[in-house]
Amino acid sequence: MRILKIQTLRGPNYWSIRRHKLIVMRLDLENLAQTPSNEIPGFYEGLVEALPSLEGHYCSPGCRGGFLMRVKEGTMMGHIVEHVALELQELAGMHVGFGRTRETATPGIFQVVIEYLNEEAGRYAGRAAVRLCQSIVDRGRYPKAELEQDILDLKDLWRESSLGPSTEAIVKEAELRGIPWTQLSARFLIQLGYGVNQKRMQATMTNKTGILGVELACDKEATKRILAAAGAPVPKGTVINFLDDLEEAIEYVGGYPIVIKPSDGNHGRGITIDIRNWDEAEAAYEAARAISRSIIVERYYVGRDHRVLVIDGKVVAVAERVPAHVVGNGRSTISELIAETNKDPNRGEGHDKVLTKIELDRNSYQLLERQSYTINSVPPKGAICYLRATANLSTGGIAIDRTDEIHPENVWLAQRIVKIIGLDIAGLDIVTTDISRPLREMDGVVVEVNAAPGFRMHVAPSQGTPRNVAGAVLDMLFTNEQSSLIPILSVTGTNGKTTTTRLLAHIYKQTGKVVGYTTTDGTYIGDYLVESGDNTGPQSAHVILEDPTVEVAVLETARGGILRSGLGFANANVGVVLNVAADHLGIGDIDTIEQLANLKGVVAEAVFPDGYAVLNADDHRVAAMAEKTKANVAYFTMNPDSELVRKHVQKGGVAAVYENGYLSIVKGDWTHRIERAENIPLTMSGRAPFMIANALAASLAAFVQNVTIEQIRAGLKTFRASVSQTPGRMNLFNLGKYHALVDYAHNPASYQALGSFVRNWTTGECIGVVGGPGDRRDEDFVTLGKLSAEIFDYIIVKEDDDSRGRSRGSAADLIARGINQVNPNCRYESILDETAAINKALDMAPDNSLVVILPESVSRAIKLIKVRGLVKEEVQQQ
Ligand code: ATP
Ligand code: ATP
Ligand code: MG
Ligand code: MG
């Protein structure tokens, strides 16, 4: 077995609209191509021994053990690799369920599709599955140690990629709500939503969190002063910078017990509480000094530690934090009990799990001593032995939810305090003996206000109800799912994508909105180019969707990108499918036009149910996509008598129709005429039918997004596809006595489209300069010849400079064969050199004729034309 290629999909794709995270492995079974599993001696037994948990895979029999049954009866190795890859991820704690295996058109080569949670882990699992199966084929077994290592590696990949617990909670909630999120490439920034509607977060700070509030909260002394001035209960205390001042400070706070802490520490670092004598105070001072210059000396308040979380002015959760401790069982020593507690899989290092492992520090031994224990004591059964003085989760503490117990007056106080400090998300540390009674009565205090408070104690408390605090954050940032998004209009088809995308963007600009769009020529925002290049894949889509200035996204969505990585977004508001014609067949395991239609259909299927699939009613493969999409359907047609469209509008549907020389929107009984085709420059005075079709599609896509007829009209009339904007797309030049047209039509459907224009345009003679890239199939050249014979009066056959491996002259011969098949009397000649061929055509052009050039190099062809005294570029004219 050999892996030929591994691709990572990240959006709606050919295999699934709903499952966005898939690995596609192209697998050559080599010598196993003819051997189902039942014919490999010992394979079934070896597999069951290596991975007994495969028993849980139902597979097609639909019951436990179903998949193993298939292995026993005989199934192909690709299918087994799929299940093993899924199971390996499962064993590493990643729950994935989706897989598919298909044989490609090349016998023995399979596509194995598996779901992943983490990309790298998914690819690893694919490779490991192949290794595992190969080993069982070769040796009858897969070593246990290897499997354990695989699972450890997978767990590592999973952990390394995981976000912090607070961020994790927020993005999970965002996913549930259909709010898209991405991790930006720096500073752990998370972006939620798209375009102008996006919001940003970093841990639990939002782009609304004010810097003044954060800085104030980080300065514990300043916070206390402001709160004290407002009459809020804060610990009595003072700040010192020298050890010499410690004695006086202790006296000022009323003597022992006291607390000493750094003035700008966090996570309990450098803080000592319940200090009862001078020696302890001195040591505590040194410990705090290691963190901060200024040292806070405070009265120690007896009570339990609470964290009150306030989001958007409201208390959303309250947790009591209990310091790290163990409970005696009458047999084990304290150090054994700690080791036992730390075995809890929920305890990790730092903040990566729900809880943190218990570690002892300087204070722990003091604390043990006060409880008359040492690390080797055996506490009696049920006795609680505290190991840390402060209750921070990061020092091994646990959390108990108390949200339902807090007294309303404390709620009011907490909310008021957070307003005073000026934070949108804050965590208050409150020490009181009973949170269900007013602080005032209990002599409770607000010890600190935290900016960027952690969520894990609320989301996953050790006891009590988990609280959806991430939901409160999203409620604050977005009024609803829609308010996080911007309209996305995605355009696909075999021909006309770039033209339609540009036109649609231009029409949308008439609304005054900032439109971001991607095309084969580049990525644009408003009137400016962001980046040139073939930008029709998901990465370019992301540039637009992540841009904070963009209000509307119009995305050319080409087959290559969908196939390689899936769509760059989960849902579009409008998905336009222009046409499906034979092109690029045989590439990427898309071998038939039906498969190509399924691939392009992804654009129609990934539309929101309340959005629109804009479909070409005149192309039966496109029209059939109406069956698959959950969205509303809108049709465009060049045929005013289209039965399909007539029925559709009768049922209240909307359509764009070319009728009586007009581009019109038809809805119910009404026909809204937008404009005469003649007056739309793109349609070449109404003579290029395929451009009329593109214009209908763009108009309809805009219309279903509530762009007005007036705005659509204005857009259609002012859009000009000039050479500078769209080189090689129907560039027509007036050379005085005759015209020349340069177009980069590159498949039979586009030659045909071109032909329909040529016949409409001129009554004079028509000369074609034709040829195509050498890597096309033989039959494509013959087709080109046939079509040329139908379109042109005189044909000059040329070849590309780069013959792409084809022998010189052979493409021209194939074209000539096609010409002869259609019209043995057709006048033609072969001039293989493109420059010479173009020059010959221009030299011989009679008056009123049209020279149509399908060049390899568009810029060279245009240069050759321009030196002949260009009168004007025709498309500039109306
Ligand atoms: P974190 O960042 O995790 O909130 P921190 O390092 O900022 O911790 P504080 O919140 O000031 O430190 O104190 C940590 C804990 O110590 C408090 O939650 C509280 O349990 C206890 N504590 C601090 N000051 C006092 C005090 N004056 N009286 C009683 N307990 C206190
Ligand atoms: P690519 O796949 O190269 O990105 P595209 O789909 O973006 O192509 P355009 O760049 O808009 O297509 O047009 C390329 C050529 O296809 C045009 O010059 C024209 O010859 C032809 N064409 C444009 N629209 C259509 C159409 N609706 N039907 C058939 N052919 C068309
Ligand atoms: Mg604190
Ligand atoms: Mg294009």
pLDDT, tens digit (0-9, with 9 covering 90-100), for 142-168: 999 999 999 999 999 998 888 888 999
392 pLDDT exceeds 50? yes
Question: How far away, in angstroms, is 267 Cα from ligand 3 center?
Answer: 7
For residue 225, what are its two tokens?
């002063």
Q: Bigger pLDDT: 413 or 390?
A: 413
Please state the rounded mean pLDDT for residues 191-200: 96
**pLDDT (0 to 100) of residue 725:** 66
Q: What is the distance between the alpha carbons of residues 338 and 347, in angstroms, rounded to a whole number? A: 12
Burial 71-103 (b: 16+ CB within 10 A, else e): bbeebbbbbbbbbbbbbbbbbbebebebbbbee
Tell me which residue of 337, 688, 375 sits closest to 503, measured CA to CA: 688
Closest ligand 1 atom, residue 305 Cα:
20
Secondary structure letter of residue 123 according to DSSP: H
Question: How far away, in angstroms, is 14 Cα from ligand 4 center?
Answer: 20
High-pLDDT (> 90) share of the chain, %: 73
What pTM does this model have? 0.89
Please tell me if the CB atom of residue 397 comes closer than 6 angstroms to any atom of ligand 1. Answer: no
Question: How far away, in angstroms, is 422 Cα from ligand 3 center?
Answer: 17
Closest ligand 1 atom, residue 268 Cα:
6
For residue 754, what are its two tokens?
């071109």
Angle 393-396-398 from CA coordinates, rounded to 5°: 60
Q: Using CA positions, which residue lies closest to atom 12 of ligand 2?
A: 496
419 pLDDT exceeds 60? yes
| DSSP-derived 3-state class of residue 321 | strand
55 pLDDT exceeds 60? yes
CA 374 centroid distance within chain:
54
Pairing, β 607-616 against β 272-275 = unpaired
Question: How far away, in angstroms, is 753 Cα from ligand 2 center?
Answer: 9
Listed in order, strand segments (DSSP E) in 343-494 are 347-348, 355-356, 384-386, 398-401, 425-432, 445-451, 488-492
- Counting ligands in written order, the one closest to the CA of 390 is 1
The pLDDT tens digits for 803-817 are 788 888 999 999 999
Please tell me if the CB atom of residue 730 comes closer than 6 angstroms to any atom of ligand 2. Answer: yes
CA atoms within 13 A on the CB side of 323: 19
Model confidence at 878, pLDDT cuts 50, 70, 90, reads very low
- Counting ligands in written order, the one closest to the CA of 496 is 2
Q: Which residues contact 655 (CB under 8 A, 6 or more apart)?
A: 617, 634, 635, 636, 637, 645, 648, 649, 665, 666, 667, 700
Residue 437: phi, psi to the nearest 5?
A: -120, 155
Question: How far away, in angstroms, is 852 Cα from ligand 4 center?
Answer: 21
Secondary structure letter of residue 99 according to DSSP: E
Q: Using CA positions, which residue lies closest to atom 18 of ligand 2?
A: 729
Residue 742 near residue 731 (C-beta atoms within 8 A): yes
Question: How far away, in angstroms, is 210 Cα from ligand 1 center?
Answer: 23
- Other C-beta atoms closer than 10 Å to the C-beta of 218 total 18
Secondary structure letter of residue 300 according to DSSP: P
Model confidence at 214, pLDDT cuts 50, 70, 90, reads very high
Mean pLDDT of the chain: 92
Question: How far away, in angstroms, is 263 Cα from ligand 4 center?
Answer: 60
Secondary structure letter of residue 383 according to DSSP: -
**pLDDT (0 to 100) of residue 713:** 97
CA 780 to each of CA 558, 585, 642, 744, 809: distance values in angstroms, whole numbers, following the listed order: 21, 11, 31, 15, 15
Q: What is the distance between the alpha carbons of residues 730 and 720, in angstroms, rounded to a whole number? A: 11
High-pLDDT (> 70) share of the chain, %: 98
- Other C-beta atoms closer than 10 Å to the C-beta of 168 total 16
Q: Which of 491, 495, 600 to mutate to test the pocket of ligand 2 (most atoms within 8 A of CB)?
A: 495
The pLDDT tens digits for 707-751 are 999 999 999 999 976 676 677 888 888 888 899 999 888 788 888
| The length of the chain, given as a count of residues | 878
Please tell me if the CB atom of residue 745 comes closer than 6 angstroms to any atom of ligand 2. Answer: yes
Angle 508-510-515 from CA coordinates, rounded to 5°: 40
Q: What is the distance between the alpha carbons of residues 310 and 451, in angstroms, rounded to a whole number? A: 10
**pLDDT (0 to 100) of residue 875:** 53
Please state the rounded mean pLDDT for residues 488-496: 95
Please tell me if the CB atom of residue 557 comes closer than 6 angstroms to any atom of ligand 2. Answer: no
Please tell me if the CB atom of residue 452 comes closer than 6 angstroms to any atom of ligand 1. Answer: no
Closest ligand 1 atom, residue 393 Cα:
3
Question: How far away, in angstroms, is 795 Cα from ligand 4 center?
Answer: 27
Please tell me if the CB atom of residue 496 comes closer than 6 angstroms to any atom of ligand 2. Answer: yes
825 pLDDT exceeds 50? yes
Alpha carbon distance, N-terminus to C-terminus of the chain: 62
Q: What is the distance between the alpha carbons of residues 876 and 866, in angstroms, rounded to a whole number? A: 16
Question: How far away, in angstroms, is 498 Cα from ligand 4 center?
Answer: 4
For residue 300, what are its two tokens?
């120690």
Model confidence at 877, pLDDT cuts 50, 70, 90, reads very low
Is 23 buried (19+), middle (13-18) or exposed (0-12) by CB count in 10 A?
buried
Please tell me if the CB atom of residue 785 comes closer than 6 angstroms to any atom of ligand 1. Answer: no
| DSSP-derived 3-state class of residue 186 | coil
**pLDDT (0 to 100) of residue 322:** 93
338 pLDDT exceeds 80? yes
Residue 582: phi, psi to the nearest 5?
A: -60, 120
Please tell me if the CB atom of residue 320 comes closer than 6 angstroms to any atom of ligand 1. Answer: no
Closest ligand 1 atom, residue 307 Cα:
18
The pLDDT tens digits for 578-596 are 999 888 787 788 888 999 9
List residues, by chain if needed, whose CB lies under 5 Å from ion ligand 4.
497-498, 520
Secondary structure letter of residue 526 according to DSSP: T
Closest ligand 1 atom, residue 300 Cα:
28
Question: How far away, in angstroms, is 496 Cα from ligand 2 center?
Answer: 3
Please tell me if the CB atom of residue 323 comes closer than 6 angstroms to any atom of ligand 1. Answer: no
